[in-house]
Amino acid sequence: MKHRRRIFVLLLLAAGGRALAQDAPRPVPTENVTVTGIKDVDQAVTKFVGSMTVPTRTADKIARWKQGICPLTAGLRPEAVKFVTRRVKDVAAQVGAPVNDRENCKPNIEIIFTTTPQALLDNVQVMYPFVLGYHDNSAQAAQLAKVIWPIQSWYSTATDDLRGNVVIDMARRKGMPMTLDMPVASASGGGMQVMASPTVTMNIPDAQIVNVTGSRLGDGVSSDFHHVVVVAEPAKLLDHEIGTLADYIALLALAQTVQPEQCQELPTILNLFAPGCTAPPKALTNVDLAYLRAVYKMTATTTARGQRGEIIYQMDKSLGAEK
């Protein structure tokens, strides 16, 4: 809890209170883009889900919010701050994500507008590296901390086991060393045989105990968001309206999404910064909303492959119904 407050203070300091001059915010309606122009919608949806979703490294699950979201925006004029925060909450409520509506809730989504995004991320890398997301070593941390996009997001995830134990996904876990004596399998006699002795000792440093079901369909483990940071650089966003930016931020904040390096076939607000997109949508599209709804409908504990299948099914269903 203390940690979170500290992160916020750090982020606020780094943002330096440099407010972005923006027009007064106004609500942006969701864009209804019909996907009939696409030959094979099912295939496009499968491709979209395959390229956009990122399973977590520790549990291999698609993460989503389990605790109510509490967004906090900094670095804009007060009315714009209110607008962005409200919009993220509204989108969350619209797609079935939990929302913490208490006034003094502890922020778990931090949206920072700053003129020096790389300096901010450098500081995060030193003081709160877990905010960058799972990494095994400093080289991976440095890679994660690179600011590439005008608006970029970082996801700290946690693994929630069968008994509700929640552990933040980190390479340097505070586990205990565990030694297991395993029977040796011998290859004699044409097939593998397990011999009673001798045994081989396996040393597992930082072992974690996770309660699972043992089923192949779902192990009872799920991935949740613990903390999400979205950083935006105002100087690179002058051509966009605050409503468009708020929608883009909402999508990033509610699902761990790969920002596309090429224009997506399906109309999505993620095309906003993708190179080669001539007329990207200026608001969340029905594809984006179908995707988010599907993420918050999927079975949390099934395999990532199963989760992707569920998302595709739900998106096909909702987009197909609109055709």
Q: Which residues bind other proteins (CB under 8 A)?
A: 6, 10, 13, 119, 122-123, 125-127, 129, 137-139, 141-142
97 secondary structure, DSSP code:
-
Comparing CA positions, the residue from 245, 225, 250, 8 lying closest to residue 105 is: 8
Structure token pair of residue 162: 């069968």
Closer Cβ to other proteins, 127 or 166, answer by number: 127
Instruction: Read off φ and ψ for residue 318, nearest 5 degrees.
Output: -75, -35
Query: What's the min distance (Å) between Cβ of 293 and other proteins?
Result: 40
Query: What's the min distance (Å) between Cβ of 210 and other proteins?
Result: 25
How far from the centroid of its chain's Cα atoms is residue 299's Cα?
A: 16
Query: What's the min distance (Å) between Cβ of 126 and other proteins?
Result: 5
Closer Cβ to other proteins, 34 or 118, answer by number: 118
Closer Cβ to other proteins, 156 or 257, answer by number: 156
Query: What's the min distance (Å) between Cβ of 17 and other proteins?
Result: 16
Closer Cβ to other proteins, 97 or 229, answer by number: 229
Closer Cβ to other proteins, 6 or 106, answer by number: 6
Query: What's the min distance (Å) between Cβ of 177 and other proteins?
Result: 9
Q: Burial level of 247, CB count in 10 A (0-12/13-18/19+)?
A: buried
Beta-bridge partner residues of 103: none
Strands (E), the chain: 71-74, 109-113, 151-160, 166-168, 176-186, 193-207, 222-232
CA distance 4 to 72: 12
Closer Cβ to other proteins, 126 or 202, answer by number: 126
Query: What's the min distance (Å) between Cβ of 120 and other proteins?
Result: 11
Q: Check whether the bond before 234 is cis (ω within 30° of 0).
A: no
Contact by Cβ (8 Å): 7, 227: yes
Output the furthest CA–CA distance in the chain (Å, rounded). 78
